[in-house]
Amino acid sequence: MKFIYLVLIPLIALGTGLAIWWKQQTPQTNVHILPLAEQCQLHQQACTIHAQGLTVTLDVTPKPIPIAKQLSIKANITGAMPSKVQLDINGSNMYMGYNRIPLVQQEDGSWAGKSLLAFCTIDKMQWQLTLIIDLNDGTQIQAPFPLTTPYVNKGE
């Protein structure tokens, strides 16, 4: 019985206290995912999502978007004041590794950076380029843009 009072009850109390402290220390991110820009053709033009009072535009150059070559990324966001913007490049039909780049705010208010798409042997590689927009109040907005790149055999 002494064991319960000397060991178990203090351990339970300590565990409960740590759980309460952890919950208070963990920031609660409020995430809003905008609808996918399904009619988007990033190979041809900049694409825009209008939702939840926001306008988010993504432009990737050069066009058509090449594989394994440097890309210039530009994002314009109206209806919110971002504190940080990143571009997450994710393979939809094949895992292509972690590729998230920070974008830097420009004098004109746009956000810009450089990246590339990895080479893949799938005939049509499907990507999702997601702008991750963090606001000062802890809200995060995710704006997804689809992209399909064809397999190009350099030996042909």
Domain extents for the chain?
32-150
As a whole number of Å, the CA-based R_g of the chain is 22
* Distance separating alpha carbons of residues 90 and 117, to the nearest angstrom: 9
Output the pTM of the full model. Answer: 0.77
* Distance separating alpha carbons of residues 71 and 141, to the nearest angstrom: 23
Mean pLDDT, 10 residues at a time, over the chain (156 residues)?
58 57 62 90 93 96 91 97 96 83 97 89 85 96 91 52
Q: How many CA atoms lie within 13 A of 95 on its CB side?
A: 2
Torsion of CA 109, 115, 120, 123, to 10 degrees: 30
Q: What is the pLDDT of residue 5?
A: 54
* Count of beta carbons in the 10 Å neighbourhood of residue 150: 11
**In the β-sheet with 47-51, what is the strand arrangement from edge to edge?**
30-33, 139-150, 124-135, 82-91, 100-105, 111-115, 71-78, 54-61, 47-51
Name the CATH superfamily for 32-150. Macroglobulin (MG2) domain (2.60.40.1930)
Q: What is the pLDDT of residue 71?
A: 95
Q: What is the pLDDT of residue 95?
A: 74
